[in-house]
Structure 1
């Protein structure tokens, strides 16, 4: 979400004219993240997010955009890609694929409590079920095949003990992926990147007289940034969330109370199978590995961008080591 490609007001207005959304009132670059160029765009008709895709191709993008359309049509709180008079939702600006979606209400909750984790857990399960009949298919492009291709490129940049850990964990995940148990895991379209900064909450409105107030409480107002989505195991998506929403940031350890609340809420919508419960520790390792690899890539092989702020890869190295140390620890069944 760094600004790799500068967009002028004239270029933005041309797109807004095509979408019949009035006059552009403000165009402001978003500095967080590292994958795409994003702008907040305000018009006479509302607030939107304009995205130019820096890595994804015109051929890949229909999956992501149509998946959001699919979820929005089923009542999930996700950005809805704006369509022109012909129903087109994928456009071009400066030779780059581009899309415009409505801006979600609220803000991030970077210090989640049980209440936040319960809401995200239940909404994640609803998203998985809603995607079961989505007709398009695209693999998780940051899955095992990408790990296998990327690790050899990273190894020369790492300290010996880091390189050893990366090789060993990749081998473990390759073996796991070839197992019969892994093949039994239910799968479908997943978000694959549902971190705290990809979820929005808004304050609950004042309660009617006589109803107990929930001061300080917030409700989930939406998921966004679906541009790592792909077909993979639902358990991997759950593991990605647990590794971000339910951990002690300093140590990388799971916060048991938050993790249990998250899984319990998820299972209130879609119960996990016995195989899923058994493989959850292994998928927690897989989720940590995926983000350690991508953060190493962004640090050691960066691209130039205005406002670029790569994430610290040592965080997910720490999380991975913690997950390996507790390899046989799993949350109790609910």
Structure 2
């Protein structure tokens, strides 16, 4: 359940007075999500999503909100934050930060095929290119520094073999991160959480159309190849065992490269970046599973999935970048 703060119709009418997006038609809570309160907000001028931020503060939000605005202004299909009459895009509701964004069409595809992978691959590349001149900067808050800080807290819950693999992979990624080749990889604002349930498709399964990319609240500045690796590790696998589907990987990467060609350094780094992306989510799922926040209302994901993915990426030959 993602409605932690109850919003009434009168609350919505009062909030809408600060915008020029029409009068209230309907308000309905959204049950998806983990951290924020979300409502579908329909007005006489369009369909929107109202979000009340339960964890992020007014000081933390500008990077995410302004990145979405920046991308939307450049034609990337992302939720477009609405501007208030005072020029701001972040408001306050019940003492908490709030934002209204445009509602994108479609729904998420649990079993993406080749055409879905082509569409999102090209769209992510367009988003990376469009974000290159974004003026705000924030590191990926779930990047290497967080991994290094978090691993000691989850080690007591692991078997000796799990602990050995986790520490060995972390050391491998620390060594890579310090290398000149790694430092040369193209970087910029990245989504950092581009799982299949954060992308919407309209149309049909046989003839999908891009609806858009949602949920930017793990975004940060990171190497763009990391963004690609996170996505491929979720979009292009057999979900039961984490093995890559070569035909989906090829479609995803070729579509991305048709918009932003990969560099020689990225081709060299690719197998290691797939490991980095698996490590990131193994650590975060271990942390959420064994050390959940007291207020967490949803059952955490099973960390064993990304343990299996990491084991595979450390041992298999992965499809090369085009």
| Aligned residue among 310, 315, 318 for 1:320 | 310
Contact 1:32 1:308 in 2 (8 A): no
Give the corresponding residue for 1:43: 43
| Aligned residue among 250, 264, 271 for 1:274 | 264
Contact 1:2-1:308 within 8 A present in 2 as well: no
Q: Please tell me whether the aligned partners of residues 121 and 255 of structure 2 are also in contact (alpha carbons under 8 angstroms).
A: yes
Deviation of 1:306 (Å): 8.1
Residues 12-32 of structure 1: per-residue CA shift (max 9 Å, x gap): 332222124344343333333
Shift of 1:153: 1.7
Partner of 1:65: 65
- Could you list the per-position Cα deviations for residues 97-132 of structure 1 after superposition, in whole angstroms to 9, with x for gaps in the alignment? 221111100111111111110111111111110111
Verify the 8 A CA contact 2:253 2:321 in the aligned structure 1.
Answer: no
Deviates most, 17-26 or 315-324? 17-26
More relative contact order, 1 or 2 (CA 8 Å, 6+ apart): 1
Q: For residue 37 of structure 1, report the CA deviation from its aligned partner.
A: 2.5
Match of 2:54 in 1: 54
How does the TM-score come out when normalised to structure 2?
0.94
Q: Which residue of 1 aligns with 2:234?
A: 244
Which residue does the alignment assign to 1:144? 144
Distance (whole Å) between structure 1 residues aligned to residue 303 and residue 33 of structure 2: 14
| 1:163-220 deviation line (CA, Å, top 9, x unaligned) | 332222211111111111100101011111111111111117xxxxxxxxxx831111
The Cα of 1:59 is off from its aligned counterpart by 1.7
Residue number in structure 2 paired with 1:332: 320
Counterpart in 1 of 2:243? 253
Distance in 2 (CA, whole Å) between partners of 1:28 and 1:302 is 28
- Number of residue pairs matched by the alignment: 322
1:22 and 1:306 map into 2 onto residues whose CA distance is: 35
Give the Cα separation in 1 of the matches to 2:5 and 2:161.
38
Moved more, 295-304 or 58-67: 295-304
- Structure 1 unaligned blocks of 5 or more: 205-214
Q: Quickly say closer, same or farther: Cα 1:2–1:161, change in 2 above 3 A.
A: farther
Check if 1:202 corresponds to 2:202.
yes
SS in 1 for 2:28: strand
Partner Cα distance (1:144, 1:25) in 2? 45
Pairwise CA distance, 1:297: 2.1
Hey, what's the Cα distance between the residues in 1 that align with 2:84 and 2:294?
A: 32
Distance 2:54 2:308 in 1: 29
**Alpha-carbon offset, residue 256 of structure 1:** 0.5
Find the residue that maps to 1:171 and give its secondary structure: helix
Please give the alpha-carbon distance, in whole angstroms, between the structure 1 residues aligned to 2:43 and 2:67. Answer: 25
Q: Larger deviation: 157-166 or 253-262?
A: 157-166
**TM-score, length basis structure 1:** 0.90
Partner of 2:192: 192
Separation in structure 1 between the aligned mates of residue 133 and residue 278 of structure 2, nearest angstrom:
29
Q: What per-residue deviation string (whole Å, max 9, x for no partner) do you get for residues 42-70 of structure 1?
A: 23332221222233222221111111111
SS of equivalent residue, structure 1 residue 19: coil
Larger mean Cα displacement after TM superposition, 182-191 or 17-26: 17-26
CA contact (8 A) 1:203 1:217 kept: yes
Confirm or deny: 8 A CA contact 2:270 2:320 kept in the other structure. Answer: no
How do 1:1-334 residues align onto structure 2 when only pairs under 5 Å count?
2-203=2-203, 216-304=206-294, 308-326=298-316, 329-334=317-322
Moved more, 34-43 or 146-155: 34-43
Unaligned runs of 5+ in 2: none
The 8 Å contact of residues 128 and 190 in structure 1, kept in 2 or not, is answered as yes
Give the 3 Å change call, closer, same or farther, for CA 233–189 of structure 1 in structure 2: same
Query: SS where residue 129 of structure 1 aligns?
Result: helix
Compared with structure 1, are the counterparts of its residues 324 and 6 closer, same or farther at alpha carbon in structure 2 (3 Å cutoff)?
farther
